[in-house]
Amino acid sequence: MTTDQELPMDAQSATAMFAAKGIDVTPSKDQGVIKVVKHPGLDGERPMVGDRVTVHYTGKLLTGKKFDCSRDRKEPFSFNLGKGQVLKAWDIGVMSMQKGEVCTLLCKPEYAYGPSGSPNKIPPRSPVLFQMELLKFEGEMLTDDGGITRRIKVKGDGYTNPNDGASVDVHLEGSCGGRLFDCRDVSFVVSEAEDKGVPLGVDRAMDKMQRGECCLLYLKPKYGFGSEGKPEYKIGPHKDIVYEVTLKDFKRAKESWEMDLNEKLDLAHGVKHKGNQYFKAGLYFQAVIQYQRIVCWLEMECGSGIEQQKKIQEVLLTSHLNLALCFLRIKEFSQVVENCNKVIEIEESNEKALYRRGEARLLRNEFTLALADFQQVLQVNPTNRAARAQISICQSRIKEHHEQDKKTYANMFQKFAERDAEFGKPKRRRDDNKRSSMNGEVGIKRRRRSQDCPS
Amino acid sequence: MALEQLSDVVQRCQVLSDDGYAAEDHDVFTIAGRTCIEEGNSVQVLSIVLDEQNQDIVRSMGWNLLPPLIQVLLKKEDKNLPQCLAIFNHLLETCRPKELLIGLLEQLEQDDPDPIAESLHLLLNPLQKVLLRLGSRKASSLGMTLSSVLDQVAKLPLPHTKEQEEDDVFSLCRSCTELTAFVRPFVHEVRLNLFNSSANGVFLFCSCMQTLTRPLLEAQLKDPDTLPVSPLRNFATEILNTLSAIGQSLSSLVFQPLLKRKQAPGFLEEEVRYPKESLANLAHLVFVHHLAADTFPSVFSPVFCLRCNMEHISQLSSVFEGVFPIAQELYEKSLVRVVDGSLPADLLQIKTFLTVPQNLVKVMTMCQRHDLRTKGLKVLQLSIDKFDTGAKYYFFQYMLKTSRHSGVEGYIIKNIRNQIDVALQPGNSNTWFQGVHLLPLLRKVLILPDGPETDLLQYLDRVMESLNLLRYLVIRDKVTENQTGIWTELYKVEDTFMKPLRVGLNMSRAHYERELHDTVETKKSKAKEESILSVAVGDEKLPNMTSDSHVQALHSALHTFDMIESVLVRIEELVEVKENL
């Protein structure tokens, strides 16, 4: 039997033919999905639930009519396995495949397009054939920066996940380079996992987990123990770690839309306090989460009456200011500017916002803009000595910059020749600094100033 | 006069180099040139512009002549049209593209539908030429142009009916078709990865998203059976093709509400780039109109599509009433593909699975349009059918608790009766619609909302369906079997439902009989006064009710009470007979 034959078949003979050559991969063994392997995979590796898998496929009716094909689109197809995103036959079938394997799946309608079929493409109650090739698979990336990767060992139930503020009961097994360093049952509040010594990555993964789920979380240092490591677990700086997490139970916190304004304002107070605590402990990422919760709650609120409106703006303003400060510490300067802008939108001459924006711009080498900010600070408060100091820094930087330009352009050809000679010599020290301290090494401050605490 | 000034300045400038023109020369050239064209001396201007010696001058100052030229070209009947067109074309080829672009965009801004469509018609092609001349330096210019063009298109009124689309009075369809032709070469450049394609791609993407909201969100697309050739449907198809061509996967866009990764909350940038309404409309085009059927993978599970579309539907039904038909269609089409009785109760944990039906009910009870109300009811029933028994159970409970509308509650109660009937069929028994679980649900049904004081006319639908359910139970379920639990619950039902209902009936009947008596009496005494009652529905005042029709209404109310009572009596008899067996 060839799997890509064009001869029309009826469902019965197709099932008989596949059953003779292939294997029934359904858990209930009802011959709903029968697989015939054409080329076995390269190594024994199989994908896990939740993995991002990439396949090429061709879907055909038993008449041989092709109804969908990724190759026609010249683009392989990716999805998260075992999450109900695709036809049942696919979740089951692909789970049984190995990397590189090519196979054909014969699928009963109950595992494919059901009694109704698909408009214009698949008639009601049609068995279908899929020729599949599993190109690759990888753990699911939970953040855009790729710092948290998840692979699910046991799938959980239900459709809800713990949100920020939810209380969760989990079992944790943390390991580093194959050595188990942490194994315990623990309960914590999502967004405050730090209080129980649970790393940021586990905390951030919570809102993607379901009740009963057991998964492996691969954490980059930013989401693990950062550049300082964790001496009590004997973990050095900049280590990748793995946590096996079982979510035993949880209770969700109220969502923004479930709360009225007064409730939000009450909660915001406590959350801000928590954020300040984290900030003081140098846990800037954790602090950011707290302040952002407040922004999220109140951003779209306008309140009734001037009194309430003022109150909301006040809270939002402090949150943005605090966020700016945190981002200044984690050196996310564009976020600093963004938050300061939000403050300045509310209050045009906010001294701290202007100052912090100035700092961020200075560190981004936008000297002229920074200079303007610090000058504005002085207009608001002529006694701000820190701003004065910053202005002279800006001015000398601008001068430096000009001189450098002048030099560069003055004897350009000689310069080019020199540069060719010293190619590769480091010349952008500031940027290098920035890069080396990306992973949570945030304790170093060059200048202390009165503005530098969350309010 | 103006002509002389123009010749003077041109002669003066001929000897200067490109950057030697004074600001004054620019001014004189602009003013004099414009006046010449306005006064009809375009023949002379044309010869100046075409003169070989003047090409440097034209290159740097010529674009200033665009406004009067475009005015003439828009008017069409001007006798100088051919000359002006020749000048215009020459300028497009000679002047610097950046300046031309600014000049053209300024002329694009219009306020009334007719001039908008006309200036788009005239200027899109020149704009395209100019942008193409910019080569690799066009990104921001392309962005600016697209945004101005779309702002203009958005001002055009939408056709609603098939005939309006065919007639295209306000030229929206023509403008859309021209817009498609306009972007084609730029899409091509992005596809081939020419020039600065990532930046161009972003601008094209944003403008596609923008058109999905305006004009396409409210444009009620006709299906091919109604309108075989539909410019708007073609336009929508082109937009989807464009998205695919510039490397945006339609499926990732459609499923974005479920697939997007975690991102910093509280920042709105994401919503600017992926406007939720645009994504929702994209889902609508894909799932309802089956556009891009060849490129959209057909291997997604129906439940997954439904889950994601629920987010879109919820978004659409919160926008405004005009968009509601779209939301309803998307809901219907998403449900149809799901197997009956397959949606588990867990899904009701997702907020939208409760809020969307609630919105549906709101429309059903408030909407002015009859077709939407009927369709709404159909879709509500469809959504009930797709739930498994457990989910149905919770859904009924939720609806009884939240709908606050006698008709809707009556409808739900009828559904409950059907489910009990199914459960009592041999081989169909389930834990939800019989025995222990059923009783809490029955307790929500078999009560009077406000006790004996309940307004029986207002709650008629609900009361009648409750009585029908009760009658069904006492007939269908045997005292000895008591599968539904009704026979052990009956003494409570008598207290919470039947007794208060009887009291309520007596009170209401007494009240209405008295009212009837009074009305008839007054009628006798004041035979001349025609109308005595004013009736208002909503804000609309209806003609005053005559005393005759008032009497009629009172009679019909009394009949209603009779009807309720007859069912009540029947139930009481049945109970007595069965209990005595």
Interface contact flag, A59 B298, Cβ < 8 Å: yes
DSSP letter, residue B149:
H
Q: What distance lies between CA B153 and its chain's CA centroid?
A: 19
The pLDDT value recorded for residue A227 is 87
DSSP letter, residue A199:
-
Given B259, B300, B339, which is nearest A114 (Cβ)?
B339
What gap in Å lies between CA B5 and CA A442, rounded to an integer?
Answer: 69
What gap in Å lies between CA B301 and CA B338, rounded to an integer?
Answer: 9
Q: Among candidates A147, A142, A200, A196, which has minimal Cα distance to A167?
A: A196
Interface contact flag, B266 A296, Cβ < 8 Å: yes
Question: What's the rounded mean pLDDT across residues A309-317?
Answer: 92
Q: What is the CA radius of gyration of chain A?
A: 29
Given A68, A75, A293, which is nearest B298 (Cβ)?
A68
For A164, half-sphere exposure in the C-beta direction (CA atoms, 13 angstrom radius) is 20
The pLDDT value recorded for residue A445 is 38
The CA dihedral of B168, B172, B178, B183, to the nearest 10 degrees, is -150
Q: Are strands A102-107 and A66-69 parallel, antiparallel or unpaired?
A: unpaired
Does B299 reach chain A within 8 Å, measured CB to CB?
yes
Residue B62 identity (one-letter amino acid): G
The pLDDT value recorded for residue B370 is 87
The region, left, alpha or beta by phi > 0 then psi within -120 to 50, assigned to residue B76 is left
Exposure letters B306-344 (e unless 16+ CB within 10 A, then b): bbbbbbbbbbbbebeeebbbbbbbbbbbbbebbeeeebe
φ, ψ of residue B169 in degrees (nearest 5): -60, -45
Report the gap between the CA of B198 and the closest CA in chain A (Å). 19
Report the gap between the CA of B513 and the closest CA in chain A (Å). 48
Per-chain mean pLDDT for chain A: 87
Report the gap between the CA of A158 and the closest CA in chain B (Å). 5
Q: Is the pLDDT of residue A200 over 90?
A: yes
What tens digit of pLDDT does each residue of A156-170 get?
988 889 999 999 999
Q: How far is CA A322 from CA A193, A275, A297, B73, in A?
A: 20, 9, 16, 58
Top residue of A61, A79, A327 to mutate, by most chain B CBs within 10 Å, is A79
For the range A417-420, what are the long-range contacts, defined as Cβ-Cβ under 8 Å and sequence gap of 24 or more? none
Question: Which value does ipTM take for this structure?
Answer: 0.84
- Predicted structure pTM score: 0.83
Q: SS3 letters for B396-416?
A: HHHHHHHCCCHHHHHHHHHHH
Does B191 reach chain A within 8 Å, measured CB to CB?
no
Interface contact flag, A292 B265, Cβ < 8 Å: yes
DSSP string, B38-99: HTT-HHHHHHHHH-GGGHHHHHHHGGGGHHHHHHHHHH---TTHHHHHHHHHHHHHHS-HHH
DSSP string, B455-483: -TTTTHHHHHHHHHHHHHHHHHS-TTT-S
Report the gap between the CA of A162 and the closest CA in chain B (Å). 12
Which three-class secondary structure state does DSSP give residue B134? coil
Does B290 reach chain A within 8 Å, measured CB to CB?
yes
Query: B46 CB contacts (<8 Å, ≥6 apart)?
Result: B83, B86, B87, B90
Residue B319 identity (one-letter amino acid): V
Query: B403 CB contacts (<8 Å, ≥6 apart)?
Result: B358, B361, B409, B412
Given B295, B301, B338, which is nearest A84 (Cβ)?
B301
What gap in Å lies between CA A324 and CA A336, rounded to an integer?
Answer: 4
Q: Is the pLDDT of residue A220 over 90?
A: yes
Interface contact flag, A160 B350, Cβ < 8 Å: yes
Residue contacts between A and B (CB atoms, under 8 Å) = 83
Q: Among candidates A151, A258, A157, A154, which has minimal Cα distance to A205?
A: A151
Query: A427 CB contacts (<8 Å, ≥6 apart)?
Result: none
Sign of CA pseudo-dihedral A92, A93, A94, A99: positive
Length of chain B in residues, anyone? Answer: 581
Given A141, A159, A160, which is nearest B261 (Cβ)?
A141
Given A72, A84, A144, which is nearest B304 (Cβ)?
A84
Q: Among candidates A89, A133, A80, A91, which has minimal Cα distance to A113?
A: A89
Q: How far is CA A132 from CA A54, A105, A273, in A?
A: 10, 8, 54
Residue with token string 């009870």? B365
Report the gap between the CA of A155 and the closest CA in chain B (Å). 15
**Residues of chain B neighbouring A160 (CB-CB closer than 8 A):** 349-350
**Residues of chain A neighbouring B249 (CB-CB closer than 8 A):** 75
The pLDDT value recorded for residue A358 is 95
| Residue-by-residue pLDDT tens, chain B, 581 positions | 789 999 999 988 888 877 778 888 889 999 999 999 999 899 999 999 999 989 999 999 999 999 999 999 998 877 889 999 999 999 999 999 999 999 999 999 888 888 899 999 999 999 999 999 998 888 889 999 999 999 999 999 999 899 999 999 889 999 999 999 999 999 999 988 887 778 888 889 999 999 999 899 988 899 899 999 999 999 999 999 999 999 889 999 999 888 876 554 444 455 667 889 999 999 999 999 999 988 899 999 999 999 999 999 999 987 777 788 899 999 999 999 999 999 999 999 888 999 999 988 888 888 888 888 899 999 999 999 999 999 999 999 999 998 889 999 999 999 999 999 999 999 988 899 998 899 999 999 999 988 899 999 999 999 999 999 999 999 999 888 999 999 999 999 999 999 999 999 999 999 999 999 988 888 787 765 555 555 555 555 656 667 788 889 899 999 999 999 999 999 999 999 888 87
The H or E element that residue A56 is part of is strand A52-61
Two tokens, residue A358 = 């100035």
Residue with token string 């002048």? A406
Interface contact flag, A84 B337, Cβ < 8 Å: no
**Residues of chain B neighbouring A114 (CB-CB closer than 8 A):** 302, 337-339
Two tokens, residue A405 = 């330009």
**Among chain A residues, CA nearest to B286:** A119
The pLDDT value recorded for residue B267 is 46
Sign of CA pseudo-dihedral B63, B67, B71, B72: negative
**Among chain B residues, CA nearest to A204:** B262
**Residues of chain A neighbouring B259 (CB-CB closer than 8 A):** 80
What tens digit of pLDDT does each residue of A98-107 get?
999 999 999 9
**Among chain B residues, CA nearest to A110:** B339
Given A85, A121, A204, which is nearest B304 (Cβ)?
A85
**Residues of chain A neighbouring B347 (CB-CB closer than 8 A):** 159
Interface contact flag, A159 B346, Cβ < 8 Å: yes
Interface contact flag, B297 A118, Cβ < 8 Å: no
Interfacial residues of A (vs B; Cβ cutoff 8 Å): 57, 59, 67-68, 70, 72-73, 75, 77, 80, 84-88, 90, 114-116, 118-122, 130, 141-144, 157-160, 204, 207-208, 255, 257, 288, 292-293, 295-296, 299, 338
φ, ψ of residue A186 in degrees (nearest 5): -150, 150
DSSP string, B198-234: HHHHHHHHHHHHHHHHTTTTTS-PPPTTT-SS-HHHH
Interface contact flag, A59 B304, Cβ < 8 Å: no
Given A114, A118, A144, which is nearest B298 (Cβ)?
A118
Length of chain A in residues, anyone? Answer: 455
What gap in Å lies between CA A390 and CA B431, rounded to an integer?
Answer: 74
The H or E element that residue A78 is part of is strand A77-80
Q: Among candidates A219, A221, A298, which has minimal Cα distance to A263?
A: A298
Interface contact flag, B265 A122, Cβ < 8 Å: no
**Residues of chain B neighbouring A157 (CB-CB closer than 8 A):** 346
Interface contact flag, B290 A160, Cβ < 8 Å: no
The pLDDT value recorded for residue A416 is 60
Query: B332 CB contacts (<8 Å, ≥6 apart)?
Result: B375, B378, B379, B382
Q: Is the peptide bond before A454 cis (omega within 30 degrees of 0)?
A: no
**Residues of chain B neighbouring A80 (CB-CB closer than 8 A):** 259
The pLDDT value recorded for residue A407 is 73
Does B262 reach chain A within 8 Å, measured CB to CB?
yes
The H or E element that residue B177 is part of is helix B172-191
What tens digit of pLDDT does each residue of A122-139 get?
999 999 999 999 999 999
Share in percent of chain B as helix, strand, coil (round to 5): 75, 5, 25
The H or E element that residue B334 is part of is helix B324-336
Interface contact flag, B336 A116, Cβ < 8 Å: yes
Which three-class secondary structure state does DSSP give residue A182? strand
Does B478 reach chain A within 8 Å, measured CB to CB?
no
User: Beta-carbon neighbour count of residue B516 at 10 Å?
Assistant: 17
Residue with token string 């010599």? A425
Given A88, A120, A207, which is nearest B290 (Cβ)?
A120
Which three-class secondary structure state does DSSP give residue A250? strand
Two tokens, residue B120 = 């788009």
What tens digit of pLDDT does each residue of A365-393 get?
899 999 999 999 999 999 999 999 999 99
Query: B529 CB contacts (<8 Å, ≥6 apart)?
Result: B547
**Residues of chain B neighbouring A144 (CB-CB closer than 8 A):** 261-263
